[in-house]
Amino acid sequence: MINKLLSDFQNNRNDISLFLEIVKYYRFSNNFIEAEKFINENKQFKNDDRVKFELANIYFCIDKKDKAIELFEKLINSETINILYVVFELIKLYKQKQEYKKAIEIIDVALKKEPKNKELYLQKIIFQRFIPDGKSAIVTLKQFKENIEDSNSIKLIKNIENVEKSRRQIAPYRCFFTWGMHYNCNYNCTYCYAPKPQDITFENNPNNVARYGKKENIIDSWKYIYDKYGSSRIRLDGGEPSIYPDFFEIIKELSKFHRLQINTNLSFDVNKFCDVSDPETIRIDASLHCEYTKLETFIEKLNFLKQKGYKTTVSYVGYPDFLENIPLAKKTIKQINIPFFVHPYSGFYEDRQYPQSYTEQDKIFIYDIDCESKTELVWRQERKSKYKDKKNIDIETKWSKKEIEDFQKRKQKQFEEKRKAGKYKICEMGQMYARIYPNGNTYRCCSSDGNTYLGNLFDKTIKLLEHSEKCYDIDNCRCWRCMVPGEESRWLHTWLDDWETEILEIK
């Protein structure tokens, strides 16, 4: 086909329609270099906006983003190209370059010409969150409500308004909690780094030991959180949450006033789960462990949950022995339109430290999954080089009380040295987020050095920080999602809320 098109063009080199057909053929065939070359060889069309649009798209695909942006920006006022085509391409580029204010400005230009375009409003709200700019996002929501009337949009607006009632004006707007319910699990995965109740050192840390209370008291504790901080996002993990005593009754009640995110191996009875829970308030983060479940069984449960309306994602640990399963798992899960993520393995395997020891081929498996997997891989290489170093842990001996006290004193000494050195970052962890351990003790974040105690969930003594405060653990921070003001573009996307996720799913 291309040979005939080129032959026809040789006979009529001023036919712009034929020229564009050839360019599009190259572009849709992913032959971008040939497409760019063909455009540059035919200067007679260089001032045509349709050609500029094609060239901008080519630059986008060959990673010449600045050139693509320059061309797209010149096409905003074109009378030949639909402004929406230009704006949505620019939005993608601005998002990649984290130029969120520019994205909002360009959306405003488009809204003047297309005041009833739903997608423009939704994109604007998302970018206003990333600035962050909570107040402006609410103004845009009101404009959205005034201009859009279809039933799907009305439902989405209602969801947003319900969430906004309990929001704060600083990122990430809603309060988040991670509740490590307990460390018991019905699996015993090779690569798991969670504390194991059967280990002799488990009780060295009193936070490890679950404080199982009456379900009524647990539910009442979370109502106390609701009264103080509004509807919050609670991530339930462990261990395996679904084997926690009275699990189904607890989630049934908690989901009435909080949003739940359950990190689970999906071993539970999904029929019973769906009978007692609401898909509008619960997200399932399922982890696939091929040591303990068959992919077919796992997929069957995922499909059931999806059909019932639950938002689900799947994660997979990139343990060296199981990397070969990634392509099939990814392909199968993607076929049912569920996001699939790979978490790089942190630890030792055959006397080699991971993730540093991944081969280039290994990295391709991980890098090609999604941007978050890539970010996590880089973070783990930089921050967790000594993570789970079994060679340096004496797992056979249970520490004495004095040894535990000495260890805590050493940690405190290191913390004081950092404080005296004046090395710190301001962080919103503790103000907008808290980590709750199995015994109910609550801390500013997951960091072990210089962590701030915030009270106990079950005693109803939790009190979040009133302001962003200094963190001295900047060299060994365990979380690339930490809420450092001014760096929202780095971490805010990892704390997306219900309606924000729904907006992204529209794309």
* Cα–Cα distance for residue pair 282/277, rounded to 1 Å: 8
* Cα–Cα distance for residue pair 84/2, rounded to 1 Å: 30
Q: Are strands 311-318 and 282-287 parallel, antiparallel or unpaired?
A: parallel
CATH of residue 322's domain is 3.20.20
Q: What is the pLDDT of residue 411?
A: 67
Torsion sign over Cα 193, 194, 195, 197: negative
Considering the domain boundaries, does residue 243 fall inside one? Answer: yes
Considering the domain boundaries, does residue 397 fall inside one? Answer: no
- The continuous run of DSSP H or E covering 157 comes out as helix 151-164
Q: Do residues 276 and 237 both lie within one domain?
A: yes
* Cα–Cα distance for residue pair 185/326, rounded to 1 Å: 24
Q: What is the pLDDT of residue 385?
A: 38
Q: Do residues 294 and 430 both lie within one domain?
A: yes
Domain that holds residue 374: 176-390+417-500
Picking from 318, 446, 319, 313, the residue whose alpha carbon sits closest to that of residue 373 is 318
- Domain ends where: 149, 167, 185? 167
User: In terms of C-beta density within 10 A (0-12 exposed, 13-18 middle, 19 or more buried), how is residue 427 classed?
Assistant: buried
* Cα–Cα distance for residue pair 222/226, rounded to 1 Å: 6
* Cα–Cα distance for residue pair 240/373, rounded to 1 Å: 22
Picking from 12, 76, 16, the residue whose alpha carbon sits closest to that of residue 46 is 16
Q: Do residues 156 and 20 both lie within one domain?
A: yes
Residue 29 tokens read as 């065939």
Helix (H, G, I), strand (E, B) or coil at 149: coil
Q: Do residues 119 and 223 both lie within one domain?
A: no
CB within 8 A of 452, min separation 6: which ones? 430, 443, 444, 465, 469
Considering the domain boundaries, does residue 408 fall inside one? Answer: no
Q: Do residues 228 and 136 both lie within one domain?
A: no
Residue 428 tokens read as 């919103």
Q: Do residues 342 and 245 both lie within one domain?
A: yes
Number of domains in the chain: 2
Q: What is the pLDDT of residue 131?
A: 73
Q: Do residues 162 and 187 both lie within one domain?
A: no
Q: What is the pLDDT of residue 357?
A: 85
Considering the domain boundaries, does residue 161 fall inside one? Answer: yes
* Cα–Cα distance for residue pair 124/87, rounded to 1 Å: 12
Residue pair 454/226 in contact by the 8 Å Cβ criterion: no
Distance of CA 181 to the CA centre of its chain: 22
Q: Do residues 139 and 189 both lie within one domain?
A: no
Backbone angles phi, psi at 211, to 5 degrees: -105, 85
- Domain ends where: 101, 133, 167? 167
CATH of residue 61's domain is 1.25.40.10
Q: What is the pLDDT of residue 69?
A: 94
Q: Do residues 80 and 181 both lie within one domain?
A: no
Q: What is the pLDDT of residue 416?
A: 73
Task: Tell me the mean pLDDT per 10 residues along the chain, length 507.
Answer: 84 89 90 91 90 93 91 91 92 87 93 89 82 70 82 76 67 90 94 86 88 95 92 93 97 93 96 93 94 94 95 91 88 90 84 82 66 48 39 43 67 72 85 95 77 92 92 71 83 73 51
Helix (H, G, I), strand (E, B) or coil at 244: coil
Q: Do residues 20 and 100 both lie within one domain?
A: yes
Considering the domain boundaries, does residue 505 fall inside one? Answer: no
Q: Do residues 190 and 161 both lie within one domain?
A: no
Residue 41: left if φ>0, alpha if ψ -120 to 50, beta else—which one?
A: alpha
> What's the distance, Cα to Cα, between the start and end of the chain in Å?
33
Residue with tokens 């000594």: 386
Considering the domain boundaries, does residue 124 fall inside one? Answer: yes
Considering the domain boundaries, does residue 67 fall inside one? Answer: yes
- Domain ends where: 132, 167, 202? 167
Considering the domain boundaries, does residue 395 fall inside one? Answer: no
Q: Do residues 284 and 385 both lie within one domain?
A: yes
Give the DSSP per-residue string, 166-221.
T--SSTT-S-EEEEEEES--S---TT--S--TTSTTGGGSGGGS-----HHHHHHH
- The continuous run of DSSP H or E covering 443 comes out as strand 441-443
CB within 8 A of 491, min separation 6: which ones? 480, 481, 482, 483, 484
Torsion sign over Cα 425, 430, 436, 439: positive
